[in-house]
Amino acid sequence: MTSSPKSSIKIHEQCLVTPSPSDQTHLSLPLTFFDFFWLKFHPVERIFYYTLPLPLSNPSFFFDNVVPKLKASLSNTLRHFLPLAGNIVWPSDSNMPFIQFNPGDGVSLVLAQCDDDDNANFNQILEHNSPREAIKSRNLVPHLESSDSFAAVASLQITLFPNNGFSIGISTHHAALDGKSSTMFIKAWAFICNLDENEKFPSLEPFLDREVIKDRNGLNSFLINTWAELSVNSNKRSLEIMPDLSEPMLENSVRATFELTRGDLEKIKKRVLSQPIDSSSKPTTLSTFVLTCAYVSVCIAKAIEEAEGEKQKFAFAFTVDCRARLESEPPIPENYFGNCVCSHIVDTESEDFTKEDGVVLVAKKIYSEIKMLNNKEKRAIDGIETTMSRFVSLLSEGVKAMGVAGSTRFGVYGIDFGWGRPSKVEIVSVDRGLTIGITESKDGKGGVEVGLVLNKHVMGLFSTFFHAGLCFD
């Protein structure tokens, strides 16, 4: 066992897991405009933490018995999810990059073990409201390769915390799949691992036909050209992730998870709906998503502004699942595997977030944006051509852009590989921007877990605003 360059982690093995034998030996899958939007965006990274009793979490038993089962079931799962075992490529004779799988391709898998210091902190990792160094989670997610000539679609890391449990870290290329598709894969892997059988799983079988998404407005070429204009690489066909969009913000940063219970959300909803405000949209109810994004983004903004000691400008954006929103024939199925999300910037004033009634203002504006997206007269992809340029413009004006990753609808706390459900699920890549990570609460009672990475001082202020704002009837 050799030491990893990542401190506190020892690498047990690094290997390539290929799909189990199947009839299909080659696959080429085109990218759609939903994919091209994220072409050089940073990877999406998540960690699933599992508690394991002894002797399962004993190193010898774990690597000799648990890991082989995980690897075998991973191989069996990949035969259904061939794009994950491939790469994004852009041959010189092709106008567009695409996903390619060839025999021998596979997913990079790192098997690792935590040292004694980090292992002793396993229980702290699982706690809420317990900030820890942001870099610690980085040790548990694998690197995703990208270069001028290719970009890997996915990579995995299984890390043992001796006598405590283990984690599964996954990095995926956002130009190949969205969060819903990534979760579909993890669920399928757990299903096969749990049953130890190579069975069909209709509800988790991916739909790979990209032809259901039609490029009627030339968005494919437009987005490819937009990335070429933004790239600092002289090779405009390079598939390397853009450095400015990929580096985690780790210096003096901490990572923490907060929870909004069902009761907390009801308090926030009552507060928002009870305060009249000039608006063409007067909601009678508000979703968990709207309430969470409004409340947390306002707490972040107020914390940053107080830490900076001067007025700041903020904006908020979110992605919307377009599977059921596009008027497509045939319709896009729920198990469509790839990207089918579109990013939207909420029409807020930059000062709304730090006003006394900021939660009310922001909640109603997020609600209005979603209401328009649900209107069939306004397609969910309207404005996709200008979204990137609007982001660049906002950043150049010094606006701090906040976003959101994850969903309370993915059901991540139900993913059981055969040794129990996750003790915690973490979206690691929120450290690559001012991003709110959300999942459903582990207890299944309708609450929301919120994951953040912020400057240590800002996190302390955020915690104060977050808890103080819930202390009302």
Exposure string for 315-328, b = 16+ CB within 10 A, e = fewer:
bbbbbbbbbebbee
Please list the residues that pair with 11 across neighbouring strands.
2, 112
Tokens linked to 229: 């204009």
Q: At what angle do helices 288-308 and 262-274 cross, to 10 degrees?
A: 80
CA distance 307 to 459: 10
Nearest-CA neighbor of 451 among 303, 285, 273, 260?
Answer: 260
Q: If 0-12 CB within 10 Å is exposed, 13-18 middle and 19+ buried, where does residue 75 land?
A: buried
CA distance 101 to 86: 4
Full strand arrangement of the beta sheet holding 154-161: 2-3, 9-17, 107-114, 154-161, 165-172, 44-51, 424-427
pLDDT, position 3: 38
pLDDT, position 23: 60
What sign has the CA pseudo-torsion 242, 83, 384, 362? Answer: negative
Cβ–Cβ under 8 Å, residues 41 and 419: no
Residue bearing tokens 């608006």: 279
CA distance 297 to 305: 12
**Alpha carbon of 116 to those of 57, 138, 162: distances in Å?**
14, 17, 8
Q: At what angle do helices 219-230 and 384-396 cross, to 10 degrees?
A: 20
Residue ranges of the chain with per-residue pLDDT less than 50? 1-6
Q: At what angle do helices 67-78 and 179-195 cross, to 10 degrees?
A: 120
Q: What single letter denotes the amino acid at residue 355?
A: K
Cβ–Cβ under 8 Å, residues 205 and 335: yes
3-class secondary-structure state, position 344: strand
Nearest-CA neighbor of 347 among 361, 357, 334?
Answer: 361
CA distance 274 to 320: 27
Q: If 0-12 CB within 10 Å is exposed, 13-18 middle and 19+ buried, where does residue 397 land?
A: exposed
Nearest-CA neighbor of 401 among 462, 314, 295?
Answer: 314
Please list the residues that pair with 161 across neighbouring strands.
165
**With the CA atoms of 29, 33, 35 and 36 taken in that order, what torsion angle do they form, in degrees rounded to the nearest 10?**
110
3-class secondary-structure state, position 434: strand
Work out the angle at residue 466's Cα, subtended by the Cα atoms of residues 464 and 471, and round it to the nearest 5 degrees: 90
Please list the residues that pair with 13 across neighbouring strands.
111
Catalytic residue numbers? 174, 416
3-class secondary-structure state, position 419: coil
CA distance 144 to 152: 6
Q: Backbone dihedral region of 73: left (phi > 0), alpha (psi from -120 to 50 degrees) or beta?
A: alpha
How many Cα atoms occupy the beta-carbon half-sphere of 81 within 13 Å? 33
Tokens linked to 20: 């189990």
3-class secondary-structure state, position 137: helix
Tokens linked to 430: 């929120």
pLDDT, position 61: 96
